[in-house]
Amino acid sequence: MRSWPTIDVPALPGDPRPLRLYDTAADEVRATAPGQTAKIYVCGITPYDATHLGHAATYLAFDLVQRMWLDAGHRVHYVQNVTDVDDPLLERAAATGISWSELAERETELYRQDMTALRVLPPSEYVGVVESVDEIAEAVAKLLADDHAYWLEDDVYARTSTNGRFGYESRYSREQMLPLFAERGGDPDRPGKRDRLDALLWRGRRDGEPFWDTAVGAGRPGWHVECSVIACNRLGMGIDVQGGGSDLRFPHHEHSAAHAEALSGQWPFARHYVHAGMISLDGEKMSKSRGNLVFVSKLRGAGVDPMALRLALLDGHYRSDREWTGGRLPQAERRLASWRQASSAAAGPDALPVLDRMRDRLCDDLDTSGAMAAVDRWARLTLEQTADAADPAAPALVARAVDALLGVKL
Ligand code: 5CA
Ligand code: ZN
């Protein structure tokens, strides 16, 4: 599938540092340790509605992960999927009278435009489920052959019990898992399942639903296995980061990891499982199903500078659940204006300590607020002209750092 245009990331002087990130599975902040090429998979959208601020905030967090790795001299192999066939998409298409594939195509294109405007680095491989049906079906056939899966009527389920480590990713007890599984697309009460937590791998052909003729017969892929297969076939096992919002901690990332591990016989699927907090509006998680959405494209259409929006979304820790309020945007606009003014000044205080502080904060589990405070301080000193020494090279260098590390073009 077509990705979106690449974005230049300027190189910076000084000493980059290894990125430390919170890993849900280990319940601690640990150093990431990528090889020459860092490998990251971030779960993509289900394109039945436009990109809202919750999506944008999550993709921005993983954008910063890559910017820190790039700064440290790594190449990045980044894969993202598009869940371009799934129940919610089919339901929305039926309700609005448009074909599911047209709906997916339209919303995916809008997402590309939103990501481009926000200067989010594009994935090296942007992969739809529809274009991956055959490889997913082959994986399901292998899981069946290896007895990690079983037929239930025309559908195929994964055996949760064959993974001795099931639960390691989310660290949830079975009692915590069951309601979340039911809430987030699972079917714990379907008669005939070996275990209530077993996840659907393949949904046999149903009247009125799209299907493909494949190695496991006619049907379409289940949700979790799509990500296991798309990721593994391109990145292999032991990827550096598996990313998404905290609503994917269970069941999605648990089952995705379990399927990948059953398929490959290797462990773990990912070395870090990283989850961004939920953005809410009026106290409720922003979600397509609730409809309490603020769309990136609407704000862009109303003339909001995407760089201000980017700053507004980065102002707060990526892991905490955050409330979107109307005041965030004007505050970010003021900050952006002051940074722009300072970065076009004739001179400013030495930029290297600012770079150092930004790196120090960002490599510590992406403390964006701390990094932004360092730029604020420098901008204030520059605009007040109160610093003892002023370096004519500093404004351009701070602008470069803000571009490379925070992705904000001044
Ligand atoms: N297609 C699947 C993943 S394979 C999916 O969850 N799609 S989605 O469109 O529902 O969500 C896309 C990404 O945005 C996911 O990482 C999800 O966790 C994240 N997300 C959804 N709502 C919010 C929110 N309110 N705040 C922060 N992130 C969110
Ligand atoms: Zn996913």
Measured by CA distance, the residue closest to atom 24 of ligand 1 is: 54
Q: Which atom of ligand 1 lies nearest, measured to the CA of 82?
A: 1
What distance in angstroms lies between residue 43's CA and the mean position of ligand 2's atoms? 4
Q: Which residues of 163-194 are buried (b: 16+ CB within 10 A; e: fewer)?
A: beebbbbbebeeeebbebbeeebbeeeeeebe
Distance (Å) from CA 248 to ligand 2 centroid: 8
Helix (H, G, I), strand (E, B) or coil at 109: helix
**Model confidence pLDDT, tens digit, residues 41-57:** 999 999 998 899 999 99
pLDDT given at position 318: 98
Residue 300 has phi, psi (to 5 degrees) of -60, -45
User: What does the chain come to in residues?
Assistant: 410
DSSP string, 237-252: SSEEEEEEEGGGTTTH
Q: Which helix (H) or strand (E) holds 51?
A: none
pLDDT of residue 288: 73
Q: Which atom of ligand 1 is nearest to the CA of 245?
A: 18
- CB-based pocket (< 6 A), ligand 1: 43-46, 54-55, 57-58, 81, 83, 227, 244-245, 247-248, 276, 278-279, 285-287
295 secondary structure, DSSP code: B
Pocket test for ligand 1, best of 55, 65, 256 (most atoms within 8 A of CB): 55
- Ligand with smallest separation from the Cα of 228: 2
Please report the pLDDT score of residue 161 as a whole number: 87
Task: Give the number of the atom of ligand 1 that is nearest the alpha carbon of residue 45.
Answer: 9
* Contact criterion met (CB below 8 Å) for 150 and 199: no
Give the torsion sign (CA, 280, 283, 287, 293). Answer: negative
Q: How far is the CA of 302 from the centre of ligand 2 (A)?
A: 31
- Residues bordering ligand 2, an ion, CB closer than 5 Å: 43, 227
Positions in the chain short of pLDDT 50: none
The DSSP symbol for 14 reads S
Query: Which pLDDT score is estimated for 389?
Result: 72
Closest-CA residue, ligand 1 atom 11, reads 45
Q: Report pLDDT digits (tens) over 130-186.
A: 999 999 999 999 999 999 999 999 999 999 988 889 999 999 999 999 999 999 999
Q: Which two tokens stand for residue 363?
A: 């490599």
Give the closest residue (by CA) to ligand 1 atom 28: 54
CA of 278 to the centre of ligand 1 (A): 9
